[in-house]
């Protein structure tokens, strides 16, 4: 691994100090380093800055310094290129950024020596159709969320699995998530925790009017279609909390497995269940 990209969240208190030390460490290792504009500006290293995000798609490794939001932004910048990502947590909950700051250099040393474990995660591809016209298509690792704005009126969403009608949700919204995203927005709405190695899609209604509308897990091979079934002045589709697309009545959102895998580097000695225990404070762990 010779060409390494770094994406840092400048809002994190430890970002500047951590980024400076990390760049110095990689320089001593004689690695080629690129930084996004915000990261380069944070440590005043304009010579490392790249203006075109496509440069990250040619990296051998990307280090995301921040939290889960930083890692999700990294995934979107890659646009489907399966570049390994090392997520480093600079504070906060973080299920995707599994490496703590204290573990950074030990883990990175192993990664550069080829001693690491790689997990491949399923993503989602969401395509918006308006009538017969394809409007846009975008990618998500965690979830695609259809929600209403500030008005208290419920929205009605016709849901189809493949060619079969499932139900019409009358709710504040609907979360369509991957197994990876099951510990994100879906979990806060009462959805199940699903091991990220299971290729599944989870439909979790937000505050459904009908109490029998419970979260549903389907195969990752299924195609989900959601139709906006009622007029509402403020309905939107949000992808990974990063991109917002305004929706209209009768719009159809087609959601299916993305045509690529997200490749995450994870610590060799950490298991998913250990992370759950720690993050969710199960069994009295803090």
Cite the active site residues.
68
175: closest CA among 256, 238, 233?
Answer: 238
Q: Nearest 5°: phi and psi at 14? A: -95, 5
Q: What gap in Å lies between CA 177 and CA 188, rounded to an integer?
A: 12
Q: Nearest 5°: phi and psi at 198? A: -90, 120
Q: What gap in Å lies between CA 180 and CA 196, rounded to an integer?
A: 5
2: closest CA among 27, 39, 36?
Answer: 27
Chain centroid to CA 40: 23
Torsion of CA 200, 203, 206, 209, to 10 degrees: -150
Q: What gap in Å lies between CA 176 and CA 57, rounded to an integer?
A: 27
Residues sharing a CB contact under 8 Å with residue 177, sequence separation 6 or more, in sequence order: 142, 143, 144, 184, 185, 186, 191, 201, 202, 204
Quote the tokens at residue 277. 């225990």
Angle formed at CA 103 by CA 101 and CA 108, multiple of 5 degrees: 105
């Amino acid at each position: 691994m010779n060409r390494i990209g770094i994406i840092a969240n400048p809002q994190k208190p430890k970002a500047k100090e951590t980024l400076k030390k990390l760049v110095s460490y990689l320089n001593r290792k004689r690695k080629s380093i690129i930084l996004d504009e915000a990261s380069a500006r944070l440590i005043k290293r304009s010579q490392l800055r790249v203006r075109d995000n496509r440069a990250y798609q040619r990296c051998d490794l990307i280090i995301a310094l921040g939290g889960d939001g930083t890692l999700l932004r990294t995934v979107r910048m890659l646009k489907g290129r399966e570049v390994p990502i090392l997520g480093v947590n600079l504070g906060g909950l973080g299920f995707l950024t599994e490496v703590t700051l204290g573990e950074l250099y030990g883990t990175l040393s192993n990664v550069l020596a080829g001693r690491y474990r790689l997990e491949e995660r399923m993503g989602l591809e969401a395509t918006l159709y308006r009538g017969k016209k394809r409007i846009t298509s975008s990618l998500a690792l965690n979830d695609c969320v259809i929600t209403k704005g500030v008005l208290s009126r419920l929205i009605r969403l016709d849901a189809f699995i493949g060619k079969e009608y499932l139900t019409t949700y009358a709710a504040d919204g609907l979360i369509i998530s991957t197994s990876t995203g099951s510990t994100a927005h879906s979990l806060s709405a009462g959805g199940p925790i699903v091991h990220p190695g299971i290729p599944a899609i989870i439909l979790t209604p937000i505050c459904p009017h009908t109490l029998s509308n419970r979260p549903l897990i389907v195969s990752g091979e299924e195609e989900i279609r959601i139709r906006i079934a009622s007029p509402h002045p403020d309905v939107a589709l949000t992808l990974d909390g990063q991109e917002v697309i305004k929706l209209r009545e009768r719009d159809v959102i087609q959601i299916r497995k993305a045509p690529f895998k997200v490749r995450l580097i994870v610590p060799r000695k950490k298991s998913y269940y250990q992370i759950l225990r720690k993050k969710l404070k199960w069994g009295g762990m803090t």
